[in-house]
Amino acid sequence: MGVSTKQLRELYDDMVTARYYEERLQEEYLEGKQPAFDISAGPIPGELHLAAGQEAAAAGVCRHLRDDDVVTAPHRPHHIAIAKGVDLKRMTAEIFGRETGLSKGKGGHMHLFDPDVGFACSGIIAEGVPPAVGAGLAAEKRNEDSVAVAFLGEGAVNQGAFLESLNLAAVRDLPVVFVVEDNDWAISMPKDRVTDVEDASQRADGFDLPGRRVDHDDALAVYEAADEAIGRARHRNGPTLLEVQTHRRMGHFMGDPEGYRPEEDQEAAQARDSIESLAEDMRDHGIEEETLGEIRSEAEDRVDEAIEWAKDQPEPEPEDAYDDVFVNPPSGVTDSEPDHTLAGGDD
Ligand SMILES: Cc1ncc(C[n+]2csc(CCOP(=O)(O)OP(=O)(O)O)c2C)c(N)n1
Ligand SMILES: [Mg+2]
């Protein structure tokens, strides 16, 4: 497929937005956490998993999707959420634990849900895969042409839920695309220590569905491969497993000293930047440097505005802690003051 200038600009926009967004989150995250790393301190308490180096996988896939298509993502979700069109302000407020966040500040950065654009993510590895198959099944039952995409890491492919999902999607010819972001590491675990299957895309063979691997995190290569996979799902020709080699430019999470990681591996990840290679492709298409700069500065303005807005938002009220948490609240949970003994009782 040939790509238009507009498509190139859109891919670049998603990718630079995600990269700059995470650079800004890093700054905010580190506030108050130094000198000894205190994970609970600062405006973003808890873990923060960044996806710098993986933007091509998200943009290349999600740019083929509509709002009524469903995406499930793992614990490293920002690049995917941005590419799927999740509201940047409400997502940022959620990451900062504010009341106007997507889940009223109760989810945090690993649990972002935006039903307006069909996006959900989870900190539980491979958790999003069966629900994506469910969304594909729902689309089929409703006779709609929407599709579902499940993103997961190469470490998550060893979860049983993933293999069961491949099987069900294949046998029912469901409109689902499984996208494996292979960044070579599952925290500190290299993939060859947990599986003898070199490429996750080979797993497709065991379920008689197409498996395809894009060897580099090259946005255009991903865009083309995803066009075929998503077209196949949308035209009711069944699921595809698409694997993208990415490069983890950072630690597993913020504060990870990466003592387990060989220096050459870190250097290789830094040396290859899919954003810079897309910029090269754009120059080859005759797109001016000035245009690239404009896309970047508009993205930066949008991100800065979202972060400033989010930081101004109110914190949730303690008495609302149990709202939206239980369908049938257990005894002791009322609309009034939360009973803190429930969290750490002896029974
Ligand atoms: C079911 C489950 N098991 C273990 C964990 C702890 N855990 C968090 S991230 C992670 C590694 C995931 O690796 P991968 O799927 O390759 O994703 P990446 O972090 O590289 O993006 C693990 C084991 C978890 N969150 N959920
Ligand atoms: Mg990984």
**317: phi > 0 → left, psi -120 to 50 → alpha, else beta; which?**
beta
The answer to whether the CB of 189 is under 6 A from ligand 1 is no
**First-to-last CA distance in the chain?**
61
Average pLDDT estimate for 139-154? 98
The answer to whether the CB of 76 is under 6 A from ligand 1 is yes
Position 251, amino acid:
G
Distance, in Å, from the CA atom of 10 to the CA atom of 41, rounded to the nearest integer, reads 36
- What SS3 class is residue 211? strand
The pLDDT confidence band at residue 334, using thresholds 50, 70 and 90, is low
Mutate which of 54, 179, 187 for ligand 1 pocket (most atoms within 8 A of beta carbon): 187
Distance, in Å, from the CA atom of 118 to the CA atom of 121, rounded to the nearest integer, reads 10
Inform me whether the pLDDT recorded for 341 exceeds 80.
no
Average pLDDT estimate for 324-343? 67
DSSP 265-279: HHHHHHH--HHHHHH
* Contacts for 192 with CB less than 8 Å, ≥ 6 apart: 198
Supply the pLDDT for residue 35.
86
Mutate which of 54, 75, 122 for ligand 1 pocket (most atoms within 8 A of beta carbon): 75
Average pLDDT estimate for 16-29? 98
Q: For residue 51, which atom of ligand 1 is closest to its CA?
A: 21
Q: How far is the CA of 49 from the centre of ligand 2 (A)?
A: 11
Inform me whether the pLDDT recorded for 134 exceeds 50.
yes
Inform me whether the pLDDT recorded for 339 exceeds 80.
no
What rounded mean pLDDT belongs to the chain?
Answer: 94
Ordered strands of the 119-121 beta sheet:
113-114, 119-121, 70-73, 148-153, 176-182, 240-245, 211-214
Tens-digit pLDDT profile for residues 164-173: 999 999 999 9
Distance, in Å, from the CA atom of 44 to the CA atom of 282, rounded to the nearest integer, reads 36
Distance, in Å, from the CA atom of 149 to the CA atom of 122, rounded to the nearest integer, reads 14
The ligand placed nearest to the CA atom of residue 156 is 1
Supply the pLDDT for residue 340.
52
Tens-digit pLDDT profile for residues 49-101: 999 999 999 999 999 999 999 999 999 999 999 999 999 999 999 999 999 99
Supply the pLDDT for residue 346.
40
Tens-digit pLDDT profile for residues 292-303: 999 999 999 999
Inform me whether the pLDDT recorded for 247 exceeds 60.
yes
